[in-house]
Amino acid sequence: MSTTDPRITVGVDGSAGSSAAVAWAARIASLRHLQLKIVYGRQPTGLYGGGLSGLTVLVDAIQADGERIIADARSIAASVDKNLVITTELPNDPPVPMLIDESRHARMLVVGRSGAGGFTGMVVGGTTATVASHAHGPVAVIRGRQATTMVPDSGPVVAGIDGSPNSEPAIGVAFEEASLRGVPLVAVHAWNDVTYEDTHGTARILTQPDTLEEAEQRLLAERLAGWQEKYPEVEIRPLLVRDRPRHALLEASETAQLVVVGSHGRGGFTGMLLGSTSQALVQHAGCPVLVVRPERTK
């Protein structure tokens, strides 16, 4: 998570999910001894200079509402840690591009599971899903138990490990998060005896599942070995399951305080911004989800 700016950035919109995200981000910033930046992007109205007095009133009302949302978020963050250094910004920019740009500069971008503008029945807000797909750094989507705002603060950190190079940065972040929290790390590696050919999308049945399981055990041990040496204080609980990754990780999220995954794994297609497993967790997990993508080559 290298960056020049020592801060956690959280996007707010005045919703209950947003408030939960602020409290979570404040705790993480306090734990890491980082600053917290609170941002709220206003949708441009396109009404400036319209020549109607009523438009000025509308613009002023939008500004006032944004200032209220920022003030409420600041109050929530300060209640978590009164010594936390908090900055705020209220740009006249749409939320999605503003948050994506913020992700370039923060150690972590934090967003709620849904926004004030979401439609009834939506599992996760459009802003959240788009930002998680396009951000330039780690994005934490703050989800609670059973799709509520009751965000867990106990339980292990869970890492999804698929053996691909894309999962390596996520493993490192998961170890770091477990170390900071002083909790075990559950390393979930899911496999089954049906794989899918990348080129043609056809199913292939593996005839020696026992041999495959042994190979998957070795792969998991190899992926954890170097990180275990770096973080010897972290208790590792390897979990090898014969299941689809999304199923195993969704189940693990119900007793975890955080799930860490790569943006896409070994089954992803070239150019895919967010893999199916990551999408499923962002949509349905029972705890916050931290999506980590590989550093982009310049």
Chain segment 260-273, per-residue pLDDT in tens: 998 865 444 333 45
Cross-strand pairs, 292: 262
| All domains in the chain, ordered by first residue | 7-142 (3.40.50.620), 157-292 (3.40.50.12370)
Which string of b and e fits 274-298 if b means at least 16 CB within 10 Å? bbbbbbbbbbbbbbbbbbbbeeeee
Q: Give the strand pairing for 258-262 and 157-160.
A: parallel
Q: Are 273 and 134 in contact (CB under 8 A)?
A: yes
Q: Where are the alpha helices (DSSP H) in the chain?
A: 16-32, 53-80, 95-102, 126-134, 168-181, 209-230, 245-253, 276-284
pLDDT over threshold 60, residue 194: no
The span from the CA of 69 to the CA of 38, in Å, is 10
- pLDDT recorded at residue 107: 94
Residue 192 has pLDDT above 70, yes or no: no
Query: pLDDT tens digit string along 139-185?
Result: 999 999 987 889 999 999 999 998 776 678 999 999 999 999 999 99
Question: In terms of Cα–Cα distance, which of 94, 121, 99, 96 is closest to 109?
Answer: 99
